């Protein structure tokens, strides 16, 4: 705590001395004196804004991906209506059809998650390589926590499954007779 107070006192003394040497009034200075604590606060504020923007982009990406999966699954239900009718005619229950389509939409989400994860890991490794080799800064080392990777893949499967709920319900509610007559 003492160091923070000392840094602030030193900054105030520097400001007074510079105002005196430049013959400037307080509040009308043509210079600024910052402590390391103030610089860290500014840097933290900038990182908060960047994080908020990235979260917004991620949310939009999730929404667009979910809509894409839902659209794909609706198309799949339409194309496989006769198959659904056949499965129901030989004894498949609504629950079975629902689970098949939920699992399929989850797999689509998982594939998207694998692609996104691969691209993200590739970009971060490219940034690490660029910083280390072009700027000779060896302090940056990108690592990937296996638990985080598993979490990302599980989340992408869940998002895919969630996006396929409505098409899966539609598929499971088809009546066998109507589905078999479908052209």
| Residue 28 belongs to some domain of the structure | no
On whether the CB atoms of residues 18 and 29 are closer than 8 A, the answer is yes
Q: Tokens 């969630």 — which residue?
A: 162
For the chain, the domain total comes to 1
pLDDT of 173 over the 80 cut? yes
Q: Tokens 């794909």 — which residue?
A: 72
Residue 1's pLDDT is 46
Residue 5's pLDDT is 63
| Residue 170 belongs to some domain of the structure | yes
43-49 mean pLDDT: 88
53-66 mean pLDDT: 92
103-125 mean pLDDT: 95
115 vs 18, which has greater pLDDT? Answer: 115
| Residue 105 belongs to some domain of the structure | yes
3-state class of 162 per DSSP?
Answer: helix
Residue 134's pLDDT is 86
C-alpha torsion angle, residues 39, 42, 43, 46 (rounded to 10): -160
pLDDT digits (tens, 9 = 90+) for 144-159: 999 999 999 999 999 9
> Average pLDDT of the chain?
89
On whether the CB atoms of residues 135 and 87 are closer than 8 A, the answer is no
On whether the CB atoms of residues 86 and 180 are closer than 8 A, the answer is yes
DSSP state of 140: -
| Residue 29 belongs to some domain of the structure | no
3-state class of 139 per DSSP?
Answer: coil
Q: Report the percentage of the chain scoring pLDDT > 90.
A: 59
On whether the CB atoms of residues 121 and 130 are closer than 8 A, the answer is no
What Rg do the C-alpha atoms of the chain give, in angstroms?
29
| Residue 20 belongs to some domain of the structure | no
Domain of 175 in residue numbering reads as 69-181
DSSP state of 182: -
| Residue 6 belongs to some domain of the structure | no
Question: For residues 156 and 165, what is the distance between their CA atoms, to the nearest angstrom?
Answer: 14
111 vs 25, which has greater pLDDT? Answer: 111
| Residue 94 belongs to some domain of the structure | yes
Residue 39's pLDDT is 82
- pTM across the whole model: 0.74
DSSP state of 135: S
On whether the CB atoms of residues 97 and 88 are closer than 8 A, the answer is yes
Question: For residues 103 and 83, what is the distance between their CA atoms, to the nearest angstrom?
Answer: 17
| Residue 48 belongs to some domain of the structure | no
């Amino acid at each position: 705590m003492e160091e923070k107070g000392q840094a602030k006192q030193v900054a105030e003394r520097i400001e007074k001395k510079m105002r005196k040497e430049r013959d400037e009034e307080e509040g009308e200075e043509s210079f600024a004196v910052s402590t390391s604590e103030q610089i860290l606060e500014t840097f933290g504020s900038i990182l908060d804004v960047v994080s908020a923007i990235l979260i917004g982009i991620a949310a939009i990406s999730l929404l667009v991906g979910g809509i894409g999966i839902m659209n794909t699954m609706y198309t799949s239900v339409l194309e496989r209506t006769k198959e659904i009718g056949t499965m129901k005619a030989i004894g498949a229950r609504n629950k079975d059809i629902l689970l098949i389509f939920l699992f399929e939409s989850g797999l689509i989400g998982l594939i998207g998650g694998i692609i996104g994860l691969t691209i993200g890991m590739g970009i971060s490794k490219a940034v690490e390589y660029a910083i280390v080799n072009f700027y000779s800064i060896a302090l940056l080392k990108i690592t990937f926590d296996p638990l985080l990777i598993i979490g990302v893949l599980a989340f992408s499967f869940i998002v895919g499954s969630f996006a396929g709920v409505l098409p899966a319900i539609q598929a499971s509610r088809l009546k066998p007779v109507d589905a078999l007559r479908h052209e």
